[in-house]
């Protein structure tokens, strides 16, 4: 299969860069570039232009993000189109490569070093600099896939892109043909289950093994993060998960208060602002994944913790409930041992 590469950036100010990158992807590497201005995005009649871009993005194997001096037009959720596309890629588990104009990175260092009570400096040529700097910081703060690649010239960006894609391809080949790596998660899940059962001097419950394998799957990382924050290690939480018929019941067993905050009022805006301001102990956000029934692909989900209270929007609750339902189905699909 030839990879599809989605290119995300503002267009008018970076059109020369985008044209050059398209040549690199298409001519030099023989991959399929997906770029809206070239008609690579199919605009579907029943959804918005932005949602159509998300549909095309989710069909890609990698997303390239370029950040220049313009933040870009802002969507109804308060983020730019490029920012939303980046979040959609992360939520969908698609690898991203982030390139940032070298001068913008220099401006960010100045911005980060200034004191809060001083007059903000002027950054020539930049539109909404604080939003751009927060976008860059969001990439940096991610636990993985958080590299920032600086570029000053188009030729530099093209060279860096080739090397990054070559590195990812090499890693893919290495992991694809390593039979040991393919079994690591199964072995880890068995070790966790055995450790749990031996500590209680019980026979192995294969439902625990199935549940542990489910939680170790990266497709359920969002759910696993919630569990590990509220209860602790997987082996500690798995019994409560198996007892709970619904996600809400699990939250009660975990002694976590769930408060749903609507998106369409001031509370939703306040919740997002609290997350961005770092006021919460733990925060998780991203674009809604279409694999969870009831979610809209363009819906952003939020979840924040303070103590034993979790504040989240409806999309996040639906997402967590869907994961719990899938766990119940997975465990229930295997008979208990005699």
- 74 CB-contact burial (10 Å; exposed 0-12 / middle 13-18 / buried 19+): middle
Q: How far from the centroid of its chain's Cα atoms is residue 31's Cα?
A: 24
Q: What predicted TM-score, i.e. pTM, was given to this entire model?
A: 0.56
**Torsion region of 181: left, alpha or beta (phi above 0 gives left; psi -120 to 50 gives alpha):** alpha
Q: How far apart are CA 160 and CA 314, in angstroms?
A: 40
The DSSP element (H or E) to which 113 belongs, if any, is helix 102-113
Helix (H, G, I), strand (E, B) or coil at 232: coil
CATH architecture of 4-176: 3-Layer(aba) Sandwich (3.40)
Instruction: Map out the domains of the chain as residue ranges.
Output: 4-176, 185-332
Residue count (the chain): 338
Minimal CA–CA distance to 328: which of 234, 250, 233, 236? 250
∠ CA 166-133-110, rounded to 5°: 110
Burial 135-164 (b: 16+ CB within 10 A, else e): bbebbeeeeeeeeebebeebeebbeebeeb
pLDDT in tens, the chain (338 residues): 889 999 999 999 999 999 999 999 999 999 999 998 898 888 877 778 888 888 899 999 999 999 999 999 898 888 999 999 999 998 888 999 999 999 999 999 999 888 776 777 889 999 999 999 999 999 998 878 888 999 999 999 999 999 999 888 877 776 555 554 545 555 555 555 555 554 554 444 567 778 888 887 877 887 888 888 888 777 778 878 888 899 999 999 888 888 887 755 444 445 555 554 444 444 444 444 444 444 434 456 677 776 677 888 787 888 889 999 998 888 874 444 44
β-strand partners of 32 = 4
């Amino acid at each position: 299969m030839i990879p599809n590469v989605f290119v995300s950036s503002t267009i008018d100010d970076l059109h020369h860069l985008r044209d050059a990158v398209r040549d690199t992807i298409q001519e030099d590497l023989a991959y399929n570039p997906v770029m809206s201005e070239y008609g690579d995005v199919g605009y579907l009649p029943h959804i918005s232009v932005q949602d159509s871009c998300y549909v095309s993005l989710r069909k890609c194997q990698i997303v390239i993000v370029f950040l220049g001096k313009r933040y870009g037009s802002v969507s109804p959720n308060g983020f730019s189109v490029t920012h939303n596309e980046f979040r959609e890629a992360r939520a969908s588990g698609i690898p991203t490569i982030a390139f940032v104009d070298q001068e913008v990175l220099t401006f960010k260092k100045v911005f980060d070093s200034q004191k809060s009570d001083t007059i903000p400096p002027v950054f020539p040529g930049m539109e909404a600099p604080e939003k751009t700097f927060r976008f860059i910081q969001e990439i940096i703060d991610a636990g993985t896939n958080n590299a920032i690649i600086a570029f000053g010239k188009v030729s530099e960006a093209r060279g860096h892109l080739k090397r990054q894609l070559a590195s990812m391809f090499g890693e893919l080949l290495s992991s694809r043909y390593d039979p040991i790596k393919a079994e690591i998660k199964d072995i880890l899940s068995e070790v966790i289950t055995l450790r749990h059962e031996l500590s209680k001097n019980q026979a192995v419950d294969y439902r625990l093994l199935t549940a542990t394998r489910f939680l170790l799957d990266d497709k359920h990382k969002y759910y696993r993060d919630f569990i590990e924050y509220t209860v602790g290690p997987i082996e500690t939480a798995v019994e409560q998960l198996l007892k709970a018929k619904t996600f809400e019941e699990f939250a009660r067993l975990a002694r976590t208060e769930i408060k749903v905050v609507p998106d369409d009022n001031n509370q939703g805006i306040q919740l997002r602002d609290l997350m961005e301001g770092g006021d919460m102990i733990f925060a998780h956000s991203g674009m809604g994944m279409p694999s969870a029934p009831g979610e809209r692909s363009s819906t952003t989900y939020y979840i924040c913790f303070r103590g034993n209270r979790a504040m989240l929007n409806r999309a996040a609750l639906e997402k967590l409930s869907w994961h719990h339902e899938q766990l119940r189905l997975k465990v229930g699909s295997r008979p208990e041992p005699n």
